[in-house]
Homo-oligomer: A and B are copies of this chain.
């Protein structure tokens, strides 16, 4: 068995399709798959499999029956932007859109928390990447429940029933999307607290990286354990066969990117799409069209 096959088989261990037994602490951010790969070999492998992704995206685009929704979540500096850049570059941008969900604006807050999410869902044939997502509404607002007061939702906020309602609404939206033909893949880029410290330090030490630093990153870092609990609960409550979570070991960026692209390739491959063929009666006409074009006066 070659490295690629062994790698693809290892992916199953990161996928959570049923959250009932999920514990974030069971997942090691340092894991590199024990495939004997190093950073350079990993980058080589990534380059190889990118061609596969391009082919599969073309089939998705041509068939216009399914779509792919990729959700990227993770602590600050977990590598969300880098993953998008390194995994998706090379894919035809006509078929891909990235939506970054920042803090909701005034109009967003006047609507339900899923309003801007549903609006950005992919149409048939397309790939959409959510850089942050509906999960922020059970993560950042769970860690900082005062933010809930910015919304216009009546009734008791921040009760167990309130959060259960949100998890339930998210589950149902994802179930609906999957019924419409959307493949939903949710990636948690799992870094350690120490790795975050090093990456934030690099943003301060390396002049080219300074624009990435935000003082709020240091502030949020103080809530590390609260975020870990919120992630643990959100993943446990929303992992489903039609919308699995993938817990990506992300201390090694090169390995995280391989896990993400490998998971995407496997999911698209499972659709078993082929180039669409014209129907028999159209097929029959193609010779006529060809003749007409050939006989056209120059």
Contacts and interface: CB of A to CB of B under 8 A. Distances in A.
A121 interface: yes
Interface residues of A, number: 31
A92 interface: no
A152 B112 contact: no
Interface string A76-119: 00000000000000000000000000000001001111110011
B172 A152 contact: no
B169 A181 contact: no
Given A124-B110, A125-B110, A152 B115 contact: no
B154 A65 contact: yes
Q: How many monomers of this protein are in the complex? A: 2
A177 interface: yes
A202 interface: no
A172 B170 CA distance: 10
A147 interface: no
A173 B169 CA distance: 8
20 contacts: A64-B152, A65-B152, A65-B153, A107-B123, A110-B123, A111-B123, A111-B124, A111-B180, A112-B176, A112-B179, A112-B182, A114-B176, A115-B119, A119-B119, A153-B180, A153-B181, A154-B181, A155-B181, A169-B179, A172-B175
